[in-house]
Every structure is written in C-alpha cells, then in structure tokens.
Amino acid sequence: MENNSLKGKCILITGGTGSFGNALIEYLFKLKTKPRRVVVFSRDELKQFEMQKKYSSKNYLNLRFFLGDVRDKERLRSALKGVDVVIHAAALKQVPTAEYNPIEYIKTNILGAQNIIEECIDSNVSRVIALSTDKASSPVNLYGATKLCSDKLFVSANNIKGKKNIRFSVVRYGNVFGSRGSVAPTFSKIEKKGTYFITDPDMTRFNITLKKSIEMVLWTIKNMEGGEIFVPKIPSYNIMQLVKAFNPNAKVKNIGIRAGEKLHEEMISINEAINTVELKEYYAILNGYSKLKPKYKKIKYVKNGFYYNSGKNSNFLNIKELQKLIKSELK
C-alpha cells in the first residue's frame, strides 16, 4: 500500500526498537515514495546497536537513531526538531509486572504521553498517532488503565493545540501475532512432548498481524481528522484452538488467570459504542472534537447495544487458519 502522504516527511517512532518499529522500518523503506528521514527514538542502547547493524546498508541511509526516554522532555524536544509525523509506540506493556510496579507504568504510559503531546505542539509536528491496546477498553488491570488515560490525553490534545496545524489520533488494536510478549512465540518453543500452560481454556483474544497493524497506522496518517480512536475489524481466536494448531496432541495444564488478566478482551465497550461510527475496514470512536468534522456527519453510528468483544466476535480463526498464521508470522 503506497502512501504518498509520507513523501518527503520526517517520521519519528518512539519505542522504535520493538517488533512494530522493526517491521515498520522495513515496510517504509520498501515504499516507492520513501520518507525523507525516519528516526528511531528509544531508551534501549543494545537494541539500537543491534538495529544499526541490521539496517547498515545503503538502502537505509535516511534512518537515524536517537537514544532517549519519553519521560525526558528536553531529550524529546531535541529529537523532534524537523519532525513531521510522530508514531508513539513507546510503552511499558507487561500486565502482571504493572500490577506490582504501578508508578513506573504511570510515569511512562501517562506522563510520557503528556510529554509527547506538549513537545509535539511546540515543535510544529503535523500528525501524531498513538498506539493503544484492547486492554484500554473497560480496563481491569493497571496497564490497561494507563493506556486508557493515555488515549484520553491524545484525543483531548486536539482541544489545546490552538491554531497549530497538528492532529492527534489513536490506533487501538488487539494482540499482534508473533510479537514480543505474545503467547505464540512461547508456544512455538515447546517441544512436541512438552506441556502447554494456559490460564483458561475458554480464553479468547483478538488477532492482528504486524503487516496489518502497520497498514492501519499508515492509513490513519493519511485519513485522520484528529480526535478519533480507530479500531480495526479483525478476527479472534480461542487459546485451545491455538494450542491445537501447534500440536493436536498437546498436553495442557490450566494454571488459572493471572493478576489483571481478562477472559475476553474488548476493543469497543457498550458505552464507547454510543460515539462510534463504522467505516469500511475500521471503527472510529469519536470525541467532541472529531464529531464536529463534516466527514463524520455523513456516516451512520453503530446500532444501540453494540460492543466489540473477542469472545462475541463473528469472525473466529479456525485451526487451519491459525497454522497458516504460524508459518507466515513466526519466522
């Protein structure tokens, strides 16, 4: 998918050394209309060093690395000089860890988000896209609560930008299949006669591939009005179906749901649905700012009582589809 809106632009990716950042860089540098410059902003010097070796060829001459933390406003200010588009992927994400280290998650996921907002406004950035998670809808854990707060900060930032030509929107999607921290890579390392540890056999999750998540972000850059939380129409899977996709004769042990974990994830709650419109490939949860845009006045809202839950999804992946995903995504 070509995106001419990126031609000649400088893009900064916070948390750019993760699974998403690596995949996005490869995707961007394959485009015919390449960005002018891509900046990876992260606090992990080892991962930056490894990425510099990986992307050292002449095909990545416009790639830059900037060591820093979203908690540090001065460092952000330096990194944002000349930047047109910010994709905010930096976050602390592990659900159980958040339950025991809440203040650290607040510092990065909430205060770091506010730092991004303030410095982007002052630096004349034109587009800011914050990556969110299904755990931000009706959160039951600390991580989800920090991401909900982050989402609110970004959509509300459109109200404080003044006359600056900048738009803030959020992309909220489910588990990225095969990404660091997801269950699929863990299952792939279990030997044939090994035991698969699950937290509940009825557990379901939304599923999206890295490629689809990247395409969604690039679509958002091109189509955002500001103030939306975009949600993709994606399939779900049951955890036991995933186990069988790896090994039909697997030994399974149920260890019980972990602290802060949900049985089913939700991307649009019944209360959020009141402000949700349906697009071709996505839903858009609107706020007061985006509701005023002429574009959305012509689009119908979802029906009363609608909610988007991984356990009630009309599209579930079967074992064969999951096996195909395993082959394509776990390289």
- Could you tell me what percentage of the chain is helix, strand and coil, using 3-state DSSP and rounding each to the nearest 5? 40, 20, 40
46-58 pLDDT, tens digit each: 999 999 999 988 8
DSSP symbols for 199-217: S-TT-EEEEE-HHHHHHHH
- The average pLDDT across 247-257 equals 92
Share of the chain above pLDDT 70, in %: 98
Instruction: Out of 135, 147, 244, 262, pick the active-site residue.
Output: 135
Across 203-220, average pLDDT: 96
The DSSP letter of residue 8 is T
For 31-35, 85-89, 116-120, which range has the lowest pLDDT when averaged over its residues? 31-35
Q: What is the DSSP string of 215-265?
A: HHHHHHHHH--SS-EEEE---EEEHHHHHHHH-TT-EEEE--PPTT--SS-
Q: Give the mean pLDDT of 70-93.
A: 97
Residue 114 has pLDDT above 70, yes or no: yes
Query: How much is the average pLDDT of 199-219?
Result: 96
- Give the Cα separation of 129 and 137 in Å (integer): 18
- Percent of the chain past pLDDT 90, that is, above it, reads 83
List the alpha helices (DSSP H) in 10-101: 19-28, 45-54, 73-79, 95-100
Enumerate residues 6+ apart whose C-beta is below 8 A from 220.
Answer: 129, 169, 171, 230
Given pLDDT bands bounded at 50, 70 and 90, which one contains residue 1?
Answer: very low
pLDDT given for residue 32 in this prediction = 79
CA distance 245 to 241: 6
> Which pLDDT score, from 0 to 100, does residue 67 have?
97
pTM to 2 decimals? 0.94
Q: Which pLDDT score is estimated for 3? A: 60
At residue 33, the pLDDT reads 79
pLDDT in tens, 16-52: 999 999 999 999 998 877 899 999 999 999 999 999 9
Q: pLDDT band at residue 241, thresholds of 50, 70 and 90?
A: very high
| CA atoms of 206 and 212, how far apart (whole Å) | 13
pLDDT over threshold 80, residue 325: yes
pLDDT beyond 50 at 119: yes
What is the mean predicted confidence (pLDDT) over 198-226? 96
Average pLDDT over residues 287-301: 90
Q: How far apart are CA 209 and CA 191, in angstroms?
A: 24
Q: What is the pLDDT confidence band of residue 113, given thresholds at 50, 70 and 90?
A: very high
- For the question of residue 251 being annotated catalytic, the response is no
Q: Find, among 73, 59, 62, 71, the residue nearest to 39 by Cα.
A: 62
Which residue type does 199 have? Answer: T
Instruction: Give the angle subtended at the CA of 259 by the CAs of 145 and 263, to the nearest 5°.
Output: 80
Identify the residue with better confidence: 226 or 59: 226
Residue 207, amino acid:
N
157 within 8 A of 86, measured Cβ to Cβ = no
Q: What residue ranges define each of the domains in the chain, with the CATH number in brackets? A: 4-175+208-234+265-310 (3.40.50.720)
Mean pLDDT of 207-228: 96
d(CA 142, CA 125): 30
Q: Which of 134-143, 161-170, 180-189, 274-283 has the lowest mean pLDDT?
A: 180-189
Average model confidence (pLDDT) across the chain:
94
pLDDT bracket for residue 2 (50, 70, 90): low
